[in-house]
A and B are shown apart, each in its own frame.
Chain A
Amino acid sequence: MSFIQPPVRIRIFFALPLLMGTGIARAHGEGLPDPGSWWREWNTQPMLLLMLAAVWGFYTRGALAVWSQAGVGRGIPTARAAAFGAGMAVLFLALVSPLDAMSAVLSSAHMVQHMLLMMVAAPLLAYGAPVPAFIWALPARWRQPLAPWIRRAEGWYAPGYRVWQPLAVWGLYALALWVWHMPALYQAALRDRLVHDAQHLVFLLTSLLFWGVLLDPLRRLRMSRGAGVLYLFTTCLHASALGIFLALSPRVWYVDYGATAPLWNLAPLEDQQLAGMIMWIPGCLLYALAATWLFALWLRETEDASTLPGEAEALPGSAAAGGWAAAVTVCEGGEP
């Protein structure tokens, strides 16, 4: 797993307890919401709420620690902090709100839940610069041992790194997406809480990696914006293909929804078609919007780079900053 670079590993480390092994996602057939009372079905399992609160609290602590030293909006820009907050809110919407209950009933609702996790929450969280915040959230004496580890940063970036990392992450994301939609695995997730947790965890982690490569605050860790447009474009193509297969299939893939979808006046096949279409069109649109935004950033970058020809080469926050502080100072770099 050498393609997962240490700062990314830190991200994984902090995301792990988020969902792992607690059986918080609903399994199929438990307390089915009906059209009359669906809005009362909140997933209030203490473990889930606790973890969401812990992550959010941890981030806040880190951000405040940075800001108290450097001034508000310095180190971790306010936009990034706000994005993280919004990402947590979307996680809440996806995992706690009645949407979670609905996703046990309707394939299409489950699709919406997954898309919120992978395409809304994940980019917002990845943009939120969680790594520096989490590092700063640690007590000073714990931060100390991390310092030499991060100081070795210079050695991490092999020359082809910015090419191979995105390719590998692109493949991982594609693999996760396609493998988990195989009927056998998806059905297993519907029937078993742990498998369902694993599914959500894999989706969230791969998409955190996926968007992290595009949005990382460390310039050297993220791919070129222009290549990012192609990265999203090709992902949009294969994700659409999966959506198309779901939408056009003459058979129901996930038979467990066969019993529940009619409660909502949808034939099981229609429910599946809706799920496929949601993945295809709004999904593709989200990639398109993200790509457009990246592209706009890229254009702005070229303007800067051309007025100051040397600027593009000098990477902010290099060895001079040193230690774990580098992870923070680079956030100051040139982020919008």
Chain B
Amino acid sequence: MSSTAAPPEPADYAGDLEEFNKTWAGPKGFFKWFATIDNGPIGFGFMFFSVVFFLLAGLMALLMRVQLAVSENTFLSPEVYNQLFTMHGSTMMYLFIVPFLEGLIMILLPPMLGTRDMAFPNTSSFGMWTFLSGGLMFYMSFALGDVPTIGWFAYPPLSGPEYTGLGTSFWLLGLGMAEIAGILSGLEIVVSCLKIRAPGMSLARMPLFAWTILVTGVMIVAAFTTLLTATMMLELDHEIGTQFFDPNHGGKPLLWQHLFWFFGHPEVYIMFIPATGFISSIVPVFAKRPLVAHTYVIIAIVLMGFLSFGLWVHHMFATGIPWLSMSFFTAASLMIAIASGIQVFAWIATLWGTRPAMKTPMLWVMGFLFIFVLGGLTGVMVAIVPFDWQVHDTFFLVAHFHYVLIGGVLFPCLAALYYWMPKLNGRMLSERMGKWSFWTTFIGFNVAFFPMHMMGLLGMPRRVYTYPSSLGLDGYNMVATVGAFLLALGFLLTVANVIVSARKGERAGADPWGGDTLEWAISSPLPGPMFYQIPPVYSRHPSWETDESKRQDERIERASRATANKPETWRGILMVDVLNGLPQSIQPLSKGGYAPSFAALMITVASMGALLKLYLVGAICILLALVSIIVWLWPHEAYLKKIRESAPALEEESGLPVFTTGEKSIPWWGIVGQISTVSLMFSVLFYSYFYLRLYSPTWPQGGIPRPDLLMPGVAYGLLAASALPQLWARRAFKRGEEWQVSGGLIGTLLLGAAFIWALYAYLGGLEFTHRTNAYGSMFYLIQWLMSGLVGVGMLLNLGLHYRYRRVPEDREHFMPVQMQVTAMFWYFLAVLGIAVYGVVFLSPYV
């Protein structure tokens, strides 16, 4: 990518350009795709594969439309129709929109924030490869000849082991992988937005797009972790005979619906909020003035994110929830309309009285406004319970959510594609083809989906493969099918446009639209290191306001100057204060390698091996995956040496530390993210535990006695006590007392091992297993996860101890933060253990 990029005039304080470019250059050759961790190729991978999945899912939609074109059609069998709507829905939701957004975000966020890469580049790579493997596993069911017919929501018991087979197991596993990719990129997005911006970019100066992404990131972590936990439970029901959702053994199918919609409702906003970010970035540029009510739009986004987690039950109006609750949910659902309304009016007000150039990005924005407002209005309608009961499971719903998802999400994505494509590959998309594509899509969309409102009101049920001609809906259906093909043609025109323009498009130059954000200040296509010198930022629209002399701040200028082609031998970025954007530290990023992609691959093969009962393959691959994760996380000693050598000069020049701990260091944020995710996962498990108890006549179920308190008390007591030697080691580390550090770490390890031993000694003596009933499943799952986490914590301690003994020269540099994150994780485990003891062992006595 960096070949066409012209670096700025080298200043006298700049570092050696050649060396610098070499550091940031990606790997070469075919295998570079597996070794690269740069946000460019990784983001491209996300986008490319998600578009492939999009085309597949679109094809399935066309097949369904052909089937429905006339009544009593036999083009598809009911079985195949069910398979197609399942795969269409789940591909679009899990494999297209979110990964596509992740890819675009991954490419655009660093240049927009004025930094050089995402916060955890290895994680980006791992996420991309897990997403791709997840997608392939999704489609493995076609190869197995057992395509799931369970809908994108996979309600048990229909999706349980009794009614489905291997295809569904693979589908669930693929779903889990895609969720892991989502959670990881969510964490990465949050940390990047909060901590690695250009110096001087306070939160108030952060582009609105980044704000939307920040909120989305938090939502992704919360929602996807919930679904991941639920998916894991369902997959275990399939594979090892747990009973979480089996009503015959104390399980509760509705538990899945709660967990699913706790994810599913925010998911709509996870897709929609970044889309509003696209709109809010494009509208001001074409209107040539800042967004009206900027602050209120940000507040509306946060409110929307917050509320979306309280609303999931409105997807369950028809499941027999208490009568009294209905009006509450209706009222709360209507509130979302306020938050959306603020944004829509802000966009309209920004455009009011201007003469925006109707270039293709703007056309898609206009299309979005039209369609989304319609979809939003039908959304308000279905939020009202009596109306919802009338149209539930009819084509009215199909029309509603396609208006929201295509109009509200896909149109903004296309606007974004037309707007940012010049930045991604340096060439403009063809305006003529773009206009054709837009009008075909826009007309096709409305022709395809508007009649569905009427069909639904006239009583055409969704998810049914055909309908009798006596319903009199043939005409509407034929129109919808024609529209669907028109829509597909429109999308294909854009795909063709992208392919043709990539070769023949007009050269774009750095800033074809007169954009206001930082990415327009650098060359197109984006150079490898993004910024040769990280720019100082003094405004919300840094590319519009160039006169900065009045507000210069020496700390900001100094930090910026110190990054001119520097650090030369390692990948360095600036970390800033969350709030005011003052530079805090210079942090090294990893230099990449095969470990993340290899780990993702091995995890995939291992899980496939487990599903196909090739346990040896599974075991070997899991070991290999573990080894490659250790390689990935292990500090690269030669690289660290380079950093240690050049750090003093850089610190002198910038006035900022390189080796830091706490919130000024990237690993600290990594561990905070991991701790948050694991806490959420356990919260979901605890919620499920009490939910099962709520509906169970006795607890524990099925005559299992209340758990023993003493033995588990000893085990969890040991775990809690193990925090003390850890604390001791950490204190000694700060004082440099070598033997105490060793003693503390080994003490922690021994107590951790004792915990696992005591726990399994206790579990071994129990009368029931995870197969007995849902209580048993829950009981064992929580214990297994807990012991697994302690194992991870022990590995961290072991690695730390090894490095402490073997690499003493690093004790003053990187190791303090390694010590810190290891200790944080261990303290967390001790506290989590107490919570587990309280919930699993004490609560049955209350």
Which of A's residues lie within 8 Å of B, judged by CB? 182, 184, 224, 226, 229-230, 233, 236-238, 240-241, 244-245, 247-250, 270, 273-274, 277, 280-282, 284-285, 287-288, 291-292, 295-296, 298-299, 301-303, 305-307, 309, 312
Contacts and interface: CB of A to CB of B under 8 A. Distances in A.
Contacts of A245: 690-691, 694
B321 interface: yes
A248 B299 contact: no
A309 B310 contact: no
30 contacts: A184-B846, A224-B579, A230-B218, A237-B683, A240-B310, A241-B687, A244-B258, A247-B325, A249-B694, A250-B695, A270-B323, A273-B322, A281-B328, A282-B328, A284-B310, A285-B332, A288-B303, A291-B302, A291-B306, A292-B302, A296-B295, A296-B299, A298-B203, A299-B298, A302-B579, A305-B202, A305-B579, A307-B551, A309-B553, A309-B582
Interface in B92-151: none
A302 B580 contact: yes
A288 B322 contact: no
Given A302-B202, A309-B580, A281 B310 contact: yes
B307 A288 contact: yes
Given A184-B846, A299-B298, A280 B310 contact: yes
B309 A237 contact: yes
Given A233-B309, A281-B331, 10 more contacts: A224-B578, A224-B579, A226-B578, A245-B691, A247-B325, A277-B322, A282-B328, A292-B302, A292-B303, A305-B202
Contacts of B322: 247-248, 270, 273, 277
B555 interface: yes
A36 to B, nearest CB: 24
A297 B331 CA distance: 27
A295 B555 contact: no
A73 B694 CA distance: 52
Nearest to B693: A245
Contact of A302 (B203, B331, B332): B203
Contacts of A233: 306, 309
A240 B222 CA distance: 15
A277 B580 contact: no
Interface residues of B, number: 44
Given A236-B306, A237-B309, A248-B321, A281 B329 contact: yes
Contacts of A230: 218
A224 B222 CA distance: 21
Contacts of B299: 292, 295-296, 299
Nearest to B305: A233
Interface string B166-208: 0000000000000000000000000000000000101111000
B306 A299 contact: no
B638 interface: no
A93 B204 CA distance: 40
B324 A270 contact: yes
B556 interface: yes
B336 to A, nearest CB: 11
Contacts of B205: 306
A305 B683 contact: no
A285 B310 contact: yes
A76 B838 CA distance: 43
Contacts of A306: 200, 202, 204-205, 580-581
Contacts of A249: 694
Nearest to A296: B299
B579 A229 contact: no
B516 interface: no
Most chain B CB inside 10 Å of its own CB: which residue of A182, A233, A241, A309: A309
Nearest to B204: A302
A295 B303 CA distance: 10
A222 to B, nearest CB: 14
Nearest to A225: B579
Nearest to B331: A281
A250 B694 contact: yes
Most chain B CB inside 10 Å of its own CB: which residue of A296, A298, A301, A306: A306
Nearest to B296: A296
Given A236-B310, A273-B324, A292-B302, A299 B694 contact: no
Contacts of B335: 285
Interface of B: 200, 202-205, 218, 222, 258, 295, 298-299, 302-303, 306-307, 309-310, 321-325, 328-329, 331-332, 335, 551, 553, 555-556, 577-582, 683, 687, 690-691, 694-695, 846
A287 B309 CA distance: 12
Which 4 residue pairs across A and B have the least CB separation, nearest first? A306-B202, A305-B580, A302-B204, A302-B203
A182 B204 contact: no
Given A250-B695, A270-B322, A277-B324, A182 B846 contact: yes
A309 B556 contact: yes
Most chain B CB inside 10 Å of its own CB: which residue of A184, A299, A307: A299
Given A245-B691, A285-B332, A299-B204, A226 B580 contact: no
B596 to A, nearest CB: 28
B694 A248 contact: yes
Contacts of B303: 288, 292
A218 B238 CA distance: 55
A200 B551 CA distance: 53
A166 to B, nearest CB: 14
Nearest to B202: A306
Contacts of B332: 281, 284-285
Given A184-B846, A224-B579, A277 B325 contact: yes
Contact of A277 (B203, B328, B578, B581): B328
A303 B200 CA distance: 12
Contacts of B329: 281
Nearest to B339: A292
Nearest to B835: A171
A50 to B, nearest CB: 37
B638 to A, nearest CB: 34
A244 B258 CA distance: 10
Nearest to A269: B322
Contacts of B846: 182, 184
Contacts of A236: 306, 309-310
Contacts of B218: 230
Contacts of A282: 328
A303 B291 CA distance: 17
Nearest to A249: B694
Contacts of B691: 245
A219 B332 CA distance: 34
A238 B325 CA distance: 18
A51 B759 CA distance: 52
B557 to A, nearest CB: 12
A54 to B, nearest CB: 38
B203 A288 contact: no
Contacts of A307: 551
A295 B302 contact: yes
Contact of A226 (B204, B579, B695): B579
Contact of B306 (A288, A298, A309): A288
Nearest to A245: B694
A336 B323 CA distance: 43
A301 to B, nearest CB: 7
B337 to A, nearest CB: 14
A224 B295 CA distance: 19
Given A249-B694, A299-B299, A280 B306 contact: no
A226 B663 CA distance: 15
Contact of A238 (B203, B553, B683, B694): B683
Contacts of A309: 553, 555-556, 580, 582
Nearest to B539: A306
B204 A292 contact: no
A237 B690 CA distance: 15
A281 B325 CA distance: 9
Given A250-B695, A273-B325, A312 B580 contact: yes
A281 B335 CA distance: 11
A288 B258 CA distance: 21
Contacts of B323: 270
